[in-house]
Amino acid sequence: MDINSQENSIINTKLDQMLQSTLPALGIDLGGTKISCGLVSNYKLVSEPKQYKTPKGSANILDQLYKIIEEYKAKNLIAGVGVATAGIVDTTSGTVIDSTFNLPGWAGTNIKQYLEPKTMLPIHVENDANAAAYGEFKSKFQNHNLSTIVVTLGTGIGGGIILNGQIFHGENYAAGEIGHLKISFENKRLCTCGHFDCWEAYGSGPGLLKTTKELLSEVNSSQSVLYENINDLSTSHIIQAIENNDFLAKKAFDLWHHHVSIGLVTIAQILNPRTFIISGGMSPFVNYTLLQEMVIDKALAKVAQNLEIHQSRLGIHAGIIGAGQIALDAIILPKNY
């Protein structure tokens, strides 16, 4: 190839990139019961998200994903597709290398290899927690190369690790299992993973309930209104009891914040991130001022400096937005990882 035709080829490639970068991408969030999707551009949804039922079995799921993409293609010009799925994902090959209970038979499926030749579109596959973290990060910071940890506080603790603006995957694509960092060494409380003293066993919703029940076992029934609900205790009961000045509910809630803060401090000392973004079902119950104080109080000064803790702003659409944005960024941004 001579210099001129090389130059032309570079110019054509750049024009292609410019055109593609003005188009939206399709973001798909594949869950155990439903598939949610929508068009994504500039770090946000640009079409009303749609939902489909997740069919049973690997072949049927792939076929459904294909039909969804073709449906969008028929009505829109799209730059590419991002698929967020449960399970561990080899993002280079686009394969689900380990599955979850939610999607039996899904492990081993090469989503990219199946969909790319049929749809003629670039397909990017990512773990759903990582995609949601990327969505939260991009929505807040766009292309700034910051480091942010997204922490999902719900029935468990999950998350995604964004380092210098990119998802960090680790050696076996298994990084970000932050719910299973240890906050004690004394084999005190068993986690659902089968090991003791994981952060999740204390900092999740069920963790808060367990802590509350332990406290209740140390007082008598006249000392807390929560005794009435001891058999069907929920976070709402605790919040309501706090509003009624119940000392035990307050104590449990403070302890829960303390437990959450310990995990955040540990991550902060290791990775010195700029921000934590808290999402998940428990995130509306967090007292962010209290939590930030607790974290900054326990972290080294240079780690605490500028460290911020925010609540998620995307909610259930984080996965769609993140998946779509991954497809968009693959066109316009260089890939470090």
Task: Give the residues lining the site for its own copies (CB under 8 A).
Answer: 3-4, 7, 88, 98, 146-147, 161, 163-164, 168-178, 180-186, 193, 195, 202, 258-259, 262, 265-267, 269-274, 298-300, 302-303, 305-307, 336-337
Q: Could you tell me the smallest distance in angstroms from the CB atom of residue 315 to its own copies? A: 25
Shortest separation between residue 87's beta carbon and its own copies, angstroms: 10
Q: Please, which residue, 247 or 337, has the CB nearer to its own copies?
A: 337
Our CB check for its own copies shows the closer of 82 and 273 to be 273
CB of 213 to its own copies, least distance (A): 18
Residue 24 vs 176, nearer CB to its own copies: 176
Shortest Å, Cβ 145 to its own copies: 9
Nearer to its own copies, 27 or 176 (CB): 176
Kindly tell me which of 138 and 259 has the beta carbon lying closer to its own copies: 259
Q: How far is the CB of 164 from its own copies (least distance, A)?
A: 6
Compute, in degrees rounded to 10, the torsion defined by CA atoms 86, 92, 93, 97: -40
